[in-house]
C-alpha cells in the first residue's frame, strides 16, 4: 500500500512539473530593453504574444517603443494593421480549410510573438523569424493556425518569432515630394520589419536565442518581403539565412516617379493641396484607404495606356525603389551582391492559385478544361498542354491540366538561377511541394499555403487543410526538420530525406516534397518558358 501511495505521489509531482499549461504572475518572466514581459508555458514552450517592438506615428519611421514599469502581460496576440477591404463575409468551403483568425485592428500594430524552449538559460538557439503573407496589403502573424510556432520551437529547439507591421497605404504611401519628414514614407512597412529584426538583435538572448543566427522566412507576400529585406542595405547583418516560400512573383518594384504619382492622385481624390498633406495624419483610415484604392486604379489605367508594365499581379501597395531605404531593384546585380553570403531556400507549391476553383471545374470534363486552356493560351494552347503533360505525366484528372502553377514558380526559377550564379555566393536550395491534400475529395490539391502546416509541424492544428493523419505527419516531420536544419546550419539535409544538393542553373536540383520525397533536375523547363513573361 505504501509503495502504491509513493508511486502515485511521484506521478503527481512528475505531472505537475511537466504540466501542459503553466500560467501565473511569476511564470515565463524575462526582460526586454523596454521592460519585463510575462508569457505562459505550454508543452514546455514559453510563449509571448503582442510584445511591442517599436512605435510610430502615421507615415513616420518606426522608433524604439517607450519603456514600461512592472511586468507586461504578453499572453494574447496584439493588434493587426487595418485593412483596405475588411473581411465581412467568407466563402464557406474554403474558409473551412484556411480557418482564419482575423484579429482586431489598430494602427499601433508593431508587435511580435515569441516561442522558445527556454529563457535566461545562456543557450544560443537558432532564431526563425516568420513574416506573414497577404501580399503587402493584408494578413497578420496570427491569421492562419499554421503560423503557431510552438511545435516548430519544440521539435527543433529553436526560437520562433513572428511579427505584425504596417501594410497597404499606411506602409507604402510615398509622400516624399511633400517634405523631408516624409522622406522614407514609401517603405515604412519594410522599415518596420528591420526594426523588428533590430529588436531581435537586442533582446532575443533573453529568450534563449542567438542574435547571430537569425533566419528570415515567409510565404507568399511574406516571401516577397524576404526578398525585399535581402535587397535592403540597412538590414544587412540583421539576418543570416533566408527562406522564400511562393514569394518570387514580384521580381521588380515601382520607381519613385511612379509612387509619387500615386500619392499625388491620393491627394487629388481627397481634394487636398500639397500644403495640406499633413492633414493625412489625422484623417479617418477608411477615408484615406478609399482614396488610395481609387488612386491605384487610376494610375494603373494610365500606366497601361502609356505602355508601362504594372508589377506583380496588378498595381497595389508595396515596396518601391526609393533610392534611400531600397536603392536597388530586387533582382539587380547590386541586390544579389548585397545578399551574396545569405544561404537561400526557396520554392513553391505544385498548384498554388488553382484556376479550377474559380471556374467551377474541379470535376470538369476534359472538353471543358480544353476550352479554358484555349481561351487562356490561344495559339499556344497545344504547346501548353504538351508541356504540362511532359512535366506531370502521372496526372490524370482533367482539372490537373489547368491547376499546375504558372504564376509563382517562374519567378522562383529565375531567382534561383540568378542567386546561385553569384560568384562565391552562399548556397541555394530549391523545392517543389507536390503533396495533394485529401480534404474535400482532394479538391484543393497542393494549393497556395498548403505547405505551411508541414514546415511548421502543425498537421493536427490544421487538420481541416491537411486531413490530418499519419501520412501527413510523416511528411511534416521531414519538412519541418529540413527548415530547422537550414536555420541551424544553412543546409536543409537530414537523414530522413534523399541527398539534396545545392541548386545551380546547370544541375537545377529540386527537392519534391510528397509522400515519397525525391530529388531530380528541373522537370518543367518547357512549361516555365511558356509561362515566363518575355
Catalytic residues: 220, 352, 448
C-alpha 491/C-alpha 483 separation (Å) is 9
C-alpha 478/C-alpha 451 separation (Å) is 12
Residue written as grid cell 491540366: 401
Q: Cα angle at 347 between 153 and 504, to 5 degrees?
A: 115
Phi/psi at 102 (5° precision): -75, -25
Task: With CA atoms as reference, report the closest residue to 173 among 289, 297, 56, 299.
Answer: 289
DSSP H/E element including 210: strand 209-219
Q: How far is CA 81 from CA 84, 106, 193, 509, in A?
A: 10, 6, 13, 39
Residues for the chain: how many in total?
Answer: 534
Question: What single-letter DSSP state applies at residue 236?
Answer: T
> Per-residue b/e over 100-115, b at no fewer than 16 CB within 10 Å?
beebeeeeebbbbbbb
Q: How far is CA 49 from CA 28, 115, 164, 421, in A?
A: 12, 9, 11, 40
Task: With CA atoms as reference, report the closest residue to 479 among 446, 506, 505.
Answer: 446
> Per-residue b/e over 196-216, b at no fewer than 16 CB within 10 Å?
bbbbbbebbbbbbbbbebbbb
Phi/psi at 306 (5° precision): -85, 0
C-alpha 89/C-alpha 113 separation (Å) is 28
C-alpha 159/C-alpha 201 separation (Å) is 13
Sign, Cα dihedral of 219, 118, 478, 238: positive
**Long-range contacts (CB closer than 8 Å, 24 or more residues apart) made by 99-103:** 99/144, 99/145, 99/462, 99/464, 99/465, 100/143, 100/144, 101/77, 101/142, 101/143, 101/144, 101/145, 102/140, 102/143, 103/77, 103/79, 103/140, 103/142, 103/143
Residue written as grid cell 503573407: 133
Residue written as grid cell 505550454: 42
Task: With CA atoms as reference, report the closest residue to 115 among 51, 163, 48, 165.
Answer: 48
Task: With CA atoms as reference, report the closest residue to 329 among 416, 254, 226.
Answer: 254
Amino acid at each position: 500500500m505504501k509503495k502504491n501511495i509513493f508511486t502515485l505521489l511521484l506521478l503527481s509531482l512528475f505531472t505537475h512539473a511537466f504540466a501542459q499549461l503553466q500560467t501565473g504572475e511569476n511564470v515565463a518572466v524575462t526582460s526586454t530593453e523596454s521592460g519585463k514581459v510575462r508569457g505562459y508555458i505550454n508543452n514546455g514552450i514559453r510563449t509571448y504574444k503582442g510584445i511591442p517592438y517599436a512605435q510610430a506615428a502615421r507615415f513616420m519611421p518606426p522608433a524604439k517603443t517607450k519603456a514600461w514599469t512592472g511586468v507586461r502581460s504578453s499572453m494574447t496576440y496584439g493588434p493587426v494593421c487595418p485593412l483596405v477591404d475588411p473581411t465581412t463575409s467568407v466563402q464557406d468551403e474554403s474558409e473551412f480549410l484556411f480557418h482564419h483568425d482575423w484579429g482586431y485592428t489598430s494602427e499601433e500594430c508593431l508587435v511580435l510573438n515569441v516561442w522558445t524552449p527556454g529563457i535566461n538559460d545562456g543557450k544560443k538557439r537558432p532564431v526563425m523569424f516568420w513574416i506573414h503573407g497577404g501580399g503587402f496589403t493584408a494578413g497578420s502573424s496570427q491569421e492562419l493556425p499554421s503560423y503557431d510556432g510552438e511545435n516548430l520551437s519544440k521539435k527543433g529547439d529553436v526560437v520562433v518569432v513572428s511579427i505584425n507591421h504596417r501594410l497597404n497605404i499606411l506602409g507604402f504611401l510615398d509622400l516624399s515630394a511633400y517634405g523631408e519628414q516624409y522622406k522614407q514614407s514609401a517603405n515604412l512597412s519594410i522599415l518596420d520589419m528591420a526594426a523588428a529584426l533590430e529588436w531581435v538583435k537586442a533582446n532575443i538572448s533573453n529568450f534563449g536565442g542567438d542574435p547571430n543566427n537569425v533566419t528570415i522566412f515567409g510565404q507568399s507576400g511574406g516571401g516577397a518581403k524576404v526578398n525585399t529585406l535581402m535587397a535592403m542595405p540597412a538590414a544587412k547583418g540583421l539576418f543570416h539565412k533566408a527562406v522564400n516560400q511562393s514569394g518570387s512573383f514580384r521580381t521588380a518594384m515601382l520607381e519613385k516617379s511612379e509612387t509619387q504619382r500615386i500619392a499625388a492622385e491620393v491627394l487629388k481624390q481627397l481634394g487636398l493641396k500639397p500644403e495640406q498633406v499633413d492633414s493625412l495624419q489625422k484623417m479617418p483610415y477608411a477615408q484615406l484607404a478609399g482614396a488610395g484604392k481609387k488612386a491605384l486604379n487610376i494610375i494603373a489605367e494610365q500606366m497601361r495606356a502609356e505602355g508601362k508594365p504594372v508589377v506583380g499581379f496588378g498595381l497595389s501597395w508595396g515596396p518601391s525603389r526609393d533610392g534611400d531605404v531600397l536603392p536597388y531593384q530586387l533582382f539587380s546585380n547590386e541586390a544579389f551582391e548585397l545578399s551574396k553570403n545569405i544561404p537561400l531556400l526557396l520554392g513553391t507549391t505544385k498548384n498554388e492559385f488553382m484556376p479550377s476553383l474559380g471556374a467551377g471545374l474541379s470535376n470538369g470534363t476534359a472538353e471543358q478544361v480544353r476550352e479554358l486552356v484555349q481561351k487562356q493560351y490561344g495559339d499556344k494552347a497545344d504547346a501548353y498542354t504538351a508541356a504540362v503533360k511532359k512535366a506531370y505525366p502521372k496526372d490524370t484528372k482533367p482539372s490537373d491540366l489547368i491547376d499546375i502553377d504558372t504564376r509563382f514558380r517562374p519567378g522562383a526559377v529565375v531567382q534561383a538561377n540568378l542567386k546561385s550564379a553569384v560568384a562565391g555566393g552562399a548556397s541555394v536550395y530549391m523545392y517543389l511541394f507536390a503533396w495533394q491534400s485529401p480534404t474535400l475529395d482532394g479538391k484543393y490539391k497542393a494549393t497556395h499555403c498548403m505547405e505551411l502546416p508541414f514546415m511548421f509541424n502543425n498537421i493536427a492544428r490544421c487538420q481541416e487543410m491537411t486531413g490530418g493523419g499519419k501520412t501527413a505527419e510523416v511528411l511534416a516531420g521531414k519538412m519541418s526538420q529540413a527548415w530547422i536544419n537550414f536555420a541551424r546550419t544553412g543546409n536543409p539535409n537530414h537523414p530522413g530525406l534523399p541527398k539534396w544538393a545545392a541548386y545551380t542553373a546547370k544541375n537545377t536540383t529540386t527537392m519534391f516534397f510528397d509522400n515519397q520525397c525525391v530529388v531530380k533536375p528541373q522537370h518543367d523547363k518547357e512549361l516555365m518558358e511558356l509561362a515566363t513573361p518575355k
